[in-house]
Amino acid sequence: LTSIGNYLPNLVAIAIIVAITYYLLKGVRAIFSAIESERLVIPGFYTDWAKPTYNLLQILIIALAAVVVFPYLPGFDSPAFRGISVFLGILFSLGSTSAIANVVGGVILIYTRSFQVGDLIQIGDVKGIVVQKTLLVTRICAFNNQVITVPNSSLLNNTVINYAVAIREMGQPLIVQTTITLGYDVPWRDVYKVMIEAGRRTANILDDPPPFVLQTALNDYHIAYELNVYTRNWQELRYTLSELHQNLQDACNEAGIEIMSPSYLALRDGNTSTIPSTYLGDDYLPPGFRIRLPK
């Protein structure tokens, strides 16, 4: 009974700390709920930052409260308590290196606003819709409905292509590109007309800004023509690109343009020496083909 009586002041201190922590979390949650619902607007602070910022502050406040409460716990000064604390600290340090790296990566991704849930993104060979973001991993649903889990630390080391952010935040339509190669014998002005017509026939393609064509390479045997079209419906990007390829085939066939990259074969008799002419002399004459008539 004497020990319990002596411990009552510590118990009161713990109760006060817990009460302060509870109402502090409640007030912080109200503030960030107002920011998330846009009832409270802070310049430079985006609404999608509200929930993750509250979660981080919640962890920090609870951790700070635990540190303050720690000395008031019974047996705090005992060697066994200290030994267990040291053991747990070492165990956490050795086993959480990758987890901490993923948490740091998740925090960085949140505040750099690389993507949001519902965006179409591509990371290396992985392409799909973001279905979940956590502090440890990001889950992406590919077009074949396979859910791919990517650690956040890996995202920081790869280039993330976001197909939705330009439309959502900048108000700019997405440019869809596809390339065909044709020979030098096809007039490039005719190619431009055919490719632009194919773009105009495609659903989800904007008339304003209009489609345009660029010549991206003058290769040895053919020219690379790149068709650029604008769309705002990034959700149907795969189907739009497929229909665009169909219309390109139809438009080229209607115009009599064969979609084929030509190659050329040079035939030589093989008798002329490949030594530079400066070494052959002025009187050198290459021999002709050797033809033998049947007896």
pLDDT of residue 92: 61
CB 54 within 8 A of CB 28: yes
Q: How far, rounded to the nearest angstrom, does the alpha carbon of residue 123 sit from its chain's CA centroid?
A: 4
pLDDT of residue 158: 83
pLDDT of residue 95: 54
pTM of the predicted protein model: 0.63
- Show the low-confidence residues of the chain (pLDDT under 50): none
Q: How far apart are CA 247 and CA 259, in angstroms?
A: 13
Tokens found for residue 84: 């267990």
Instruction: Give the Cβ contact number of residue 195 at 10 Å.
Output: 27
pLDDT of residue 90: 65
pLDDT of residue 47: 80
